[in-house]
Amino acid sequence: SSLVAQEPHHIFLLAMAEPEAKKQKTEETKEDATPPELEKDAKPTSAKPLRADVGFETSDCTLNVIPSLGGRVLMPLTDGGMQYLIGGARANLGIKKGRYLYEVKVVEAHNPSEGPQRSFRSSVARNLVRVGFSLQGSSLLLGETSDCVYFDNDGFYGADQKRESTSQRFQRDSTVAVLLNLDASSTNANTVSLFKDGVRASQPQKLPQNLVGKPLFPHVS
């Protein structure tokens, strides 16, 4: 990109208070613009429970991720420069139809010492969290290929190796939930949504066409 120098100029704006009736009407319009929540709680079902427990196996985790407490806690290694490596873990059960949601809580956020070169690496992001879904056998690093979708802690939605600002940010102590809707009869069919602390944080985002109709696995990176 290039910069074009222009003659300096000044613009003066005179702020005026909006009439109360107009202000109230504007606020009502903003409230009405929020689409109604279509992802309601599912009704009780008599379907058989899952045959296997959902968890993370070491074969589907990068070498710098340590599953603990039966796969309920995932911790990346952070010593010896490993804080600059992204870790990833994919669950052992894929989803082909219906609606499913899983939750992730960020329980810690480390800023390990970077040694004498710290001042030269100050622009490097030290904390990254991505939650989403991927195809079995795809890269364990969410966003490296087009075989996945995800939301990240900076408020972006990633699909087809592109990122778009669509959601709220989240950080330590936040509980985020990713909802995958594969119900063909639903208005939100073939979409993913993000919820933060029980409140919608992103509108439904369409799945890329290359993921539609294929089993999708919960994935954290």
For the stretch 172-204, pLDDT in tens is: 899 999 999 999 999 999 999 999 999 999 999
Contact 52, 93 (CB under 8 A): yes
Which of 49-58, 62-71, 132-141, 152-161 shows the lowest mean pLDDT across its residues? 49-58
Residue pLDDT, tens place only, 128-169: 899 999 999 999 999 999 999 999 999 999 999 899 999 999
Signed CA dihedral, 67, 145, 39, 26: sign only: positive
DSSP characters over 121-164: GTTS-----EEEEE-TTS-SSTTSSSSEEEEETTSEEEETTEEE
| Predicted model pTM | 0.77
Nearest-angstrom CA–CA distance, 202 and 180: 13
pLDDT (0 to 100) of residue 7: 44
Nearest-angstrom CA–CA distance, 192 and 201: 12
Task: List, in order, residues 6 or more apart from 46 with CB less than 8 Å away.
Answer: none
pLDDT (0 to 100) of residue 9: 42
Contact 91, 56 (CB under 8 A): yes
